[in-house]
Structure formats: structure tokens, C-alpha cells
Amino acid sequence: MKLRLATPGPTEVPQRLLLAGAREIIHHRSAEMEELIHEINEGLPPLFGTSRPVYTIATSGTGAMEAAVANCFSAEDEVLVVSNGYFGERFQAICRNYGLTVHVVESDWGTSVDPQRVAEAYAQHPQIRGAFVVYSETSTGALNDVEAIGRIFRDTDVVVVVDAISGLLVHPLDMDDWGLDVVLAASHKGFMLPPGLAFIALSDKAWTAVESSSGPAYYWSFERLRHFYPMSSSSPAVSLLLGLHESLKMLGEEGLPDFRKRHATLGRAAERALRELGFCTFIQEPHRRSHVITSALAPEGIDTSQLLKTLSTQYGLTMTGGQAHLKGKLIRVGHVGAADALDLCAVFGALEMSLLTLGHRFTPGSGVGEVVRTFHTFHEEVK
Amino acid sequence: MKLRLATPGPTEVPQRLLLAGAREIIHHRSAEMEELIHEINEGLPPLFGTSRPVYTIATSGTGAMEAAVANCFSAEDEVLVVSNGYFGERFQAICRNYGLTVHVVESDWGTSVDPQRVAEAYAQHPQIRGAFVVYSETSTGALNDVEAIGRIFRDTDVVVVVDAISGLLVHPLDMDDWGLDVVLAASHKGFMLPPGLAFIALSDKAWTAVESSSGPAYYWSFERLRHFYPMSSSSPAVSLLLGLHESLKMLGEEGLPDFRKRHATLGRAAERALRELGFCTFIQEPHRRSHVITSALAPEGIDTSQLLKTLSTQYGLTMTGGQAHLKGKLIRVGHVGAADALDLCAVFGALEMSLLTLGHRFTPGSGVGEVVRTFHTFHEEVK
């Protein structure tokens, strides 16, 4: 059975990138690697909207989140964590693990955090050293206004740490202009690569924080990363770097504006198709939807666990459901990276067939029809 | 130009493993992954000589070294670091980074540490909580007697942490029997894979230390690894896991005894060939030689920097030189992983041609001849 992924990451990796990663391994202190790294280091910063270096390390997104905490803060520092989902909670857990005092600006799962509430929390806790926020909260599909949140702290000493792991590339992010200090990303979302690489971009303000931090860090010590830059501080994940080099080329060929249009259209199409099939999309206006995934509550009588199981066992399609308290209630249709209109047709084809199997009634083709209609309209629009 | 590696890791990755890693990405919470992980988790422990789980994380060997420090100790704990090279020094640096008090049993680069000196240091510092030792010190090619060192601490509370990153598989390691508590390894040495995965095996004594440790750790928190086991705690490096699954199959097909015989013969052949070409092998009796690399000081008048440069620019062969104070003096012929007799013939072919270019005088073929002779004798011996 052909295996497909409609997950928020790992995403399907285009064959071109899989094969780039299957090239012969080059040594991390060789002329070939210098050339490869040079092009990667040139290609990454514009994607983060920064003129400063972006560091690449072998770890997952969680490792990058921890690296930010370990390098920029010290035990007992007070920080603000903006939290409206699973990954906001992860930031809290890591901060507490490092002994930081955490003030939480909590917002319901499925909502975007109101930047005004962040400003109020800051007024209440002016002594905070950092503010953590997730750009695209993949557990729900909500997008946070990191631009507005960044601007609150722009002219302060507060270090703004942004988990842009799934949001980067898919949504605009202008680190330098928005006043973001630590921006984290990973290979297995918009970059269309296998998991295993994380990216860290740092502002001057972040570097000042690094200098006064007493948190322990070695492998992902920012000072060590800077010391070895442009090369890697430890043995890098060479096959993933070979893939990254090719991924940057692919992103350059499509261009970020088209990449974003494609994701916006995928999001719109998925949303319409889900509604047509009786689902209730989870992120409601005025909250902002991430274009990484489209999440929705199942129609009455449909057990999403069974639905996901049917999708995987009958059709080889992996889709994820809700995390934590949303387990069993939500499905999350991932369409980040290389996903295109036809991939989404296949996904909704599988979804329709599985729903029929589970006894749900609707006109076959009505979901896929919305995908076709949305993309058709989109193409007309941009002509 | 065809690129070749004669480095102590990353090693050349067999095409079979490169292509396994280029398979379509599967999701880390899917039935396919469960099956893959199950087989990996079954396959790893016997290679470490343990009956307990071996944890796999996406990081380099350095990350695994740091994880051991972060998880098993607390600031101000006293520890012993056995140090006879670059990686022993790295253990010291990481321990100090985490605020541990470090007592060093230092031995010259190029020597194996005398276990008696470790026992003496322990008698002098009976309050130590841990002892760190590198099995195969890749910076010099010396092997440490971790069996004897492990036995010193076997019936004590001292946690013995072994960097077996390059030594595992190539040399015997019987964790449970030898009394080793934390054994670290990585994907890009004996496993013949690209860098990016690290392995951590833990004894019951190590788990007791974990429980009383106050060092911060999240991404590589051992408790988190155990909590999610058999699955991964974070998005795993899927392509490397696909490769690992195939690597375990290949190791099984060759069998560890033959794998080790091959490496021992590669080491012996490289040593003889280097001597024949006028090099002086760096590890001298009674010190023990690792079969991961063979290191040697260049003949009078040969600048190793120029030699390595000629090898890479003229023949596409990457070989590494000395680290730290041995820079410019040493060459390290790597032959770990999938390297075989014919690879070593190619390596010595390149070495001979480069030496001729640099004006060194010897009978062409005399180095490669020793490789041929050694392997021929070896095959005769095992007939």
C-alpha cells in the first residue's frame, strides 16, 4: 500500500529531496561541506527576515525550544509564556524545568492570543526577562499575531522567543522588523525535509541575554554555535544538510509569495471541503487560522479515532487527531510543505471513502469538489 | 571526482543504507513506525551487552555526552574524568559547564589510561558520584580498558559513563557484565549511517542517579525518554531511523564477530602499510590500539596538512589529521563501518600517489602491498 502523510509534520518529502539526502556523505570539515554550508547560510536568513546568521543544529523542534531557554535565561528569571495549545504548554514545561518563574497568558485551545492581553500581562510583570510565543500552534491550527506581540517588547529588554517551527515560510515572518529575538524552526514542516534539523536565529538583544545567562548548555550553546560558525560545532546531520541545500533551491524556484499562496489556498480548500462533509472547523473568526493544518470537529456520530484508523489501515493515509483534551474529537488535516491541490484531492478522497465506511451520509465527491472548486477559483483569480 | 571518506566518522554510508533512508517518510505515531521502532528497540540492546532498553535520540554524540551529564548529576557533584585525548577533554568541558567539580585522571595523548591510576584516584576522592571515560579515543586512536575501569566501580554508587561513540560494535562491550552505567553511541561510526542519531543505554544504578539529579533536561531528559518508550519523545529523525533499521539488518548478516575481525584486520593492515611508507604509528605498545582509526606521525619532511590537502583536492579522499596540539603532525586513517580491504587499497593508493607528489621516496605499491599481504594472510588464517 502506498503510504501518504497529511500530518502537520513530518510532511511528505519530495523525491528530489529524499534523493539529495541519499547522496554520498561528505565530511563536516571538507571543502565540499564548506561550499554546501556557505550556500545554506546564505539562503536561510532571508527566510527569517533577518540579516544575521541562522544556526542549524541536529535536533528536533523541542531541542531548539530548550536551547532558547538554556541559553538566554537563568534560573529564577521571570518570563511570560503565551499559551493557547500544546506547544505553548511545552514552553511552560521547559521554562519550569530550568527553574524559571513562569507567568502564563492563557487563551483557550482553538483561539489566537489577544496581543492586548500580553501587553497587560507585561504591565503587571514589568520585571520579566523573556516572552515566549508559538506562531502557528499546530495542536489546534491557530495562528498568533507574533508581529503585534513582538512590537510590544521591541524597545524593551525583554527577549521575545518565537516558536516558528511550523509557521515559518508558510506565513510571513520578519524577525528584524517585528522585534523578534529568538526565532526557532525545524526541517520537517515548510522545508519539506525529514525531521532532524532545527534552526535558530538570534537578534543582538538575544546575544546580550546569552552573555548574562547562567543556564548550562554545551551541545546547543549559542556561544559555541557562534564560535564554530559558519561550520557546525558538532558532527552535523550531513544527509539532512544535503537535503536542506536542495530544499532551499526548491523554495527559491517556487518563491515565497507563491509558496504562501499555495498554502493559503490549501487551507481555504480544506476548510470548505471539511464543512461540506459536515465537519465544524475548529478555529473560528476573529481568530486567525494557520495554513499549516486545517482542524475540525467531527460530525455528530463520527468517532475520529475510528476515522483516523480507517484512513491509515484502509488507505495508507496518516492524519493526526486532537492532542490532550481534544483527543477523539478533532481531526487535523496537514497540508504543509510540498502538498498541492492534487494531494489534497487524494486526502479528501480517502476521507470521503472512510466516512462512507463509517456510515456517514453525504454526496460522494462533495468534499473533493470543494477542493477542485477552490483551486479552480484561485487559479482564475491569479490569472 | 568521486568522493571518498577515510575519516573516523562520518563514515562512508553503503548505498543500501542511503537508499533505505530515502524511503518515504512515515509518521512517528503510525503503525508503520511502531513496527520499525519495535525492531530497532529489539536490535540495539544486544549490541550494547545489555538487557535494558537503548534510547535513540536525534542529536550528535556530543549531545549524548551532555545528556548523560545533565540527567545523572547535579551542580557541585564531584566526578572523575579519565582523559587521554580530545573527547576526554570534552567530557571535562561539559561537566564544568554543568557546575560539577571535576577530578581528572590525565594520561598523555596517544596512551591508554592505566586503570590502576583510576583506582588510585577513586581512593583519593571516594566522594565522587561519577566516572567518565572514552572507550575509543578517536583523536589519537587509543583504546581505554573500560572493562577494568567499570569493574572498579561495579559494586559502588559511582555511575560510570562511557563514550562508546566510535568504540561500540568495533570492540567488544558488555555493559551489564562490566558494570557500565551509561553507554553512549552514535549513528555515524560502526552503524555506517549518516550522523544525526545518538544512542543511550542505562543501568539501574544510572536510573537511581537520574532520580536524585537536579540538572535541567527536557529534550533529552531520560525520564521523558523512558516515559515515551518504545516510541520517541519528540519528532524522531525518521530518515535516519529507516537507515538504522537496515543497518541493524546488515550488522546481523555480517555478525559482530566477523565485523570485529574485519576491523581488526583493517587496523593491522593500515598500521603495517603506514610503517612501510615511513610513518611512525602513534599508539605504541603496551597501549591499546582502537580499530576505528590508525593514526601515525608523518615521515621527516612531510607536512601532513599538505598531504591531506593533496588527498582531497587531487583524489577526492577526505582523511583527517591531528586535533589540538597534534595538528600538522598526525594523520588518522579512518576505517570504521563498511570499510573493507579494497577500500583500504584505494586509500593507500591515494596516499602513495600523494606522497610521491610531495617528493617522498619509496617503492610504489609497497604500502598497498602490505594491505594485500595482511588481508591475504588473514584469510589464510581463518580458512
Per residue in A292-327, pLDDT (tens digit) is 999 999 999 999 999 999 999 999 999 999 988 888
For chains A and B, CB pairs below 8 A equal: 191
Domain limits of chain B?
Answer: 15-253, 255-382
- B240-254 mean pLDDT: 98
Could you tell me if A195 and B241 are in contact, meaning their C-beta atoms sit under 8 angstroms apart? Answer: no
Condensed to tens digits (0 to 9), the pLDDT of residues B64-106 reads: 999 999 999 999 999 999 999 999 999 999 999 999 999 999 9
List, in order, residues 6 or more apart from B335 with CB less than 8 Å away: B6, B263, B266, B267, B270, B291, B292, B293, B294, B343, B344, B347
Does A25 contact B11 at a Cβ distance shorter than 8 Å?
yes
Amino acid present at B91: F
For residue A378, pLDDT over 90 is answered with no
Condensed to tens digits (0 to 9), the pLDDT of residues B159-192 reads: 999 999 999 999 999 999 999 999 999 999 999 9
- A1-28 mean pLDDT: 95
Q: Provide the shortest C-alpha distance from residue A275 to chain B (in Å).
A: 26
* Domain with residues B255-382, CATH architecture: Alpha-Beta Complex (3.90)
Q: Classify residue A59 by its DSSP letter.
A: S
For residue A17, pLDDT over 90 is answered with yes
User: Cα(A286)–Cα(A112) distance, rounded to whole angstroms?
Assistant: 9
- B220-242 mean pLDDT: 96
The pLDDT value recorded for residue B379 is 64
- Which grid coordinates belong to A58? 541536529
CA distances from A345 to A99, A139, A339, B383 (A): 48, 23, 10, 61
Query: What ipTM is given for this predicted complex?
Result: 0.94
**Helix, strand and coil in chain B, % to nearest 5:** 45, 15, 40
- B192-216 mean pLDDT: 97
β-strand pairing of B101-106 with B136-137: unpaired
The pLDDT value recorded for residue B194 is 98
Say whether domain A15-253 belongs to CATH 3.40.50.2300: no
How many other C-beta atoms lie within 10 A of the C-beta of residue A357?
14
Condensed to tens digits (0 to 9), the pLDDT of residues A58-111 reads: 999 999 999 999 999 999 999 999 999 999 999 999 999 999 999 999 999 999
Does B313 contact A31 at a Cβ distance shorter than 8 Å?
yes
Condensed to tens digits (0 to 9), the pLDDT of residues B11-49 reads: 999 999 999 999 999 999 899 999 999 999 999 999 999
The pLDDT value recorded for residue A383 is 45
Condensed to tens digits (0 to 9), the pLDDT of residues A106-128 reads: 999 999 999 999 999 999 999 99
The pLDDT value recorded for residue B383 is 45
- Which SS3 state, helix, strand or coil, does residue A373 take? helix
Which residues from chain A sit within 8 angstroms of residue B235, using beta carbons? 9-10, 60-62, 186, 188, 195
User: Cα(A348)–Cα(B327) distance, rounded to whole angstroms?
Assistant: 60
Sign for the CA dihedral angle at A200, A205, A211, A216 comes to negative
Res. A379 pLDDT band, cuts 50 70 90: low
Which residues from chain A sit within 8 angstroms of residue B233, using beta carbons? 62
- B260-272 mean pLDDT: 97
Q: Provide the shortest C-alpha distance from residue A373 to chain B (in Å).
A: 30
Res. B325 pLDDT band, cuts 50 70 90: confident
Q: At what angle do helices A304-315 and A341-357 cross, to 10 degrees?
A: 110
Strand ranges inside A110-165, DSSP E: 130-134, 136-137, 142-143, 159-163
For chain B, how many residues are written?
Answer: 383
> Strand pairing partners for B72?
none
Mean pLDDT (chain A) is: 96
Does A58 contact B11 at a Cβ distance shorter than 8 Å?
no
List, in order, residues 6 or more apart from A17 with CB less than 8 Å away: A192, A193, A243, A246, A247, A250
Does A25 contact B32 at a Cβ distance shorter than 8 Å?
no
Q: Provide the shortest C-alpha distance from residue A188 to chain B (in Å).
A: 9
The pLDDT value recorded for residue B324 is 85
